[in-house]
Amino acid sequence: MKYASLLLIAFSFLVFFSCKKESTNPTVTPLAFVKPAHFPAPNYSFVGNEVTQDKFDLGKQLFYDPILSLDNTVSCAKCHDQAHAFSDHNIKFSNGVGGTLGQRNSPALSNLAWYPNFMWDGGINHIEVFSVGPITNQLEMKETIANVVAKLNASTNYKNKFKKAYNIDVITDQYMLKALAQFMGMLVSSDSKYDRVYTGKTTFTASEENGYTLFKTNCVSCHLEPLTTDFSFRNNGIDEQFTDLGRGHITQNASDNGKFRVPNLRNIAITYPYMHDGRFFTLAQVIDHYSNGIKQSATIDPIFQNTTGFNFSPTEKLDLIAFLKTLTDNTYLANPLYQK
């Protein structure tokens, strides 16, 4: 009896001290890229740019810093706002340096580590070179890479952070691009209601369920689950004549004219307006397009050949919209990890 209580006291001490040790010195889980179990293998696995808190924080600082633009007024985040799933606020085209208007709608950003290429036309094919695009684009940040690198090297704050993250004394374009890639690659949206249903944690309402069935019948051949895109280039019948050649602009092949990369639909309810030129402001307009607004042209997708659309009933349209709304991922939109 005595022996047992002594043991108990000893045990309580152990528990007390181990708890105490933990509370004064919490084991910090190191930052890591976590592939959601229901996602396929990513395209970018951070080889040579292994995830660390310092690199990620540096990439985030760059993403939010207008220093990357010619007159230090435009940051990446200006056109890619977390509250809107990193798309722009409610406008067709974004303003770059000096207010110049862009020519395509700023896409929402998520799950970029899975992208084989970037832009509506797939014109950039690696996440670690990606940022050269917006930084040097005359309608966006209008800056030169050499100048950005010079500005960063003139900043003690950045010099210290690059030293800590990558152990380099002189900042180069390569490491600036790596840091940005680290932030972009870590943007993972996988906790929408859709994901929770997909992984068996909850269930859809009857309307959402019906919308999901319609989606699987009519949309997943392009908007492949669970990423909601197969990353192919398709003409979904929005135009008879093309003002923007899309993929054709990159390949210079007429058979690609009017084709755009199938967009990721995650968080779609809050990333309006829609399509590469932001022509539709509501999901209802998008669904009307697929229901009976398809226009024929030389490169129309075989799925839409000789048809004006899927002819959805009014209820089916509402159900599809109800389903699309389940792709909103509030965990992602409010994730403090991504905040400035």
Min dist. Cβ of residue 156 to ligand HEC (A) = 22
Q: Does 135 bind ligand HEC (CB under 6 A)?
A: yes
With vertex at residue 118, the alpha carbon angle to CA 114 and CA 122, rounded to the nearest 5 degrees, is 120
Q: Does 92 bind ligand HEC (CB under 6 A)?
A: no
Distance of CA 193 to the CA centre of its chain: 17
Question: Contact, 69 vs 143, CB < 8 A?
Answer: yes
* Sign of the torsion angle spanned by Cα atoms 239, 245, 251, 255: positive
Select from 19-27, 30-38, 129-137, 198-206 the region that touches ligand HEC (CB under 6 A).
129-137
d(CA 50, CA 69): 27
Q: Does 55 bind ligand HEC (CB under 6 A)?
A: no
Spatial CA neighbour of 155 closest among 163, 143, 166, 167: 163
Nearer to ligand HEC, 184 or 245 (CB): 184
Lay out the site mask for ligand HEC across 231-270 (x = CB under 6 A, - = otherwise): ---x-x-x---------------------x-xx-x--x--
Q: Does 274 bind ligand HEC (CB under 6 A)?
A: yes
Q: Which residue type is seen at 318?
A: L
d(CA 107, CA 276): 8
d(CA 275, CA 262): 10
Which residue from 45, 153, 213, 221 is in contact with ligand HEC, where contact means CB under 6 A? 221
Token digits for 284? 């209802």
Backbone angles phi, psi at 280, to 5 degrees: -105, 130
Nearer to ligand HEC, 194 or 274 (CB): 274
d(CA 180, CA 34): 18
Nearer to ligand HEC, 16 or 281 (CB): 281
d(CA 317, CA 314): 5
Q: Does 189 bind ligand HEC (CB under 6 A)?
A: no
DSSP state of 130: T
Which residue from 46, 290, 332, 338 is in contact with ligand HEC, where contact means CB under 6 A? 290
Select from 118-126, 167-175, 196-204, 248-256 the region that touches ligand HEC (CB under 6 A).
118-126
Nearer to ligand HEC, 6 or 69 (CB): 69
Contacting residues toward ligand HEC, per CB under 6 A: 63, 68, 74, 76, 78-80, 94, 96, 102, 104, 106-107, 109, 112, 118-120, 130-131, 134-135, 140-141, 180, 184, 218-219, 221-223, 234, 236, 238, 260, 262-263, 265, 268, 271, 274-276, 286, 290, 301, 303, 310, 320
